[in-house]
Amino acid sequence: MNASGRGLLFVVSSPSGGGKTTLCRRLVKEFPNLQFSISHTTRARRGQEENGRDYHFLDDEQFDKMVAEEAFAEWAQVHSNRYGSSRKSIDEIIGRGQDLVFDIDYQGARQLQSAYPDDTVTVYVIPPSMAELERRLRGRGTDTDEVIVNRLTQAKNELRQYKTYDYFVLNNELDPAYEEFRTIYQATQFNRQRRAALVEALLNE
Q: Does any domain span residue 63?
A: no
- The pLDDT of residue 100 is above 60: yes
Q: Tell me the CA distances in angstroms from 198 to 118, 120, 180, 185, one per residue in order.
A: 15, 19, 27, 20
Residue 4 CA to residue 198 CA, distance in Å, equals 9
- The pLDDT of residue 21 is above 60: yes
Q: Does any domain span residue 153?
A: yes
CATH number at residue 107: 3.40.50.300
Helix boundaries (H) for the chain: 20-30, 60-68, 87-95, 106-115, 130-140, 145-159, 174-188, 192-203
Nearest-Å Rg of the Cα atoms of the chain is: 18
Q: Does any domain span residue 43?
A: no
- The pLDDT of residue 1 is above 70: no
Q: What is the mean pLDDT of residues 40-67?
A: 92
Q: Does any domain span residue 76?
A: no
196 burial level (CB within 10 Å; 0-12, 13-18, 19+): middle
The pLDDT, as a whole number, for residue 202 is: 87
Give the count of domains, the chain. 1
pLDDT tens-digit series, residues 26-47:
999 999 999 999 999 999 888 8
> pLDDT category, 83, cuts 50, 70, 90?
very high
CB 181 within 8 A of CB 169: yes
Q: Does any domain span residue 44?
A: no
pLDDT tens-digit series, residues 164-186:
999 999 999 999 999 999 999 99
What's the mean pLDDT when you consider all of the chain?
A: 91
Q: Does any domain span residue 199?
A: yes
List, in sequence order, every residue forming a beta bridge with 74; answer none if it has no partner.
85
- The pLDDT of residue 80 is above 90: no
For 145, residues 6+ apart whose C-beta sits below 8 A from its C-beta are: none
CB 163 within 8 A of CB 5: no
The pLDDT, as a whole number, for residue 26 is: 97
Residue 99 CA to residue 75 CA, distance in Å, equals 20
The pLDDT, as a whole number, for residue 201 is: 82
CB 155 within 8 A of CB 125: no
The residue range of the domain holding 173 is 9-37+98-203
Q: Does any domain span residue 198?
A: yes
Q: Does any domain span residue 189?
A: yes
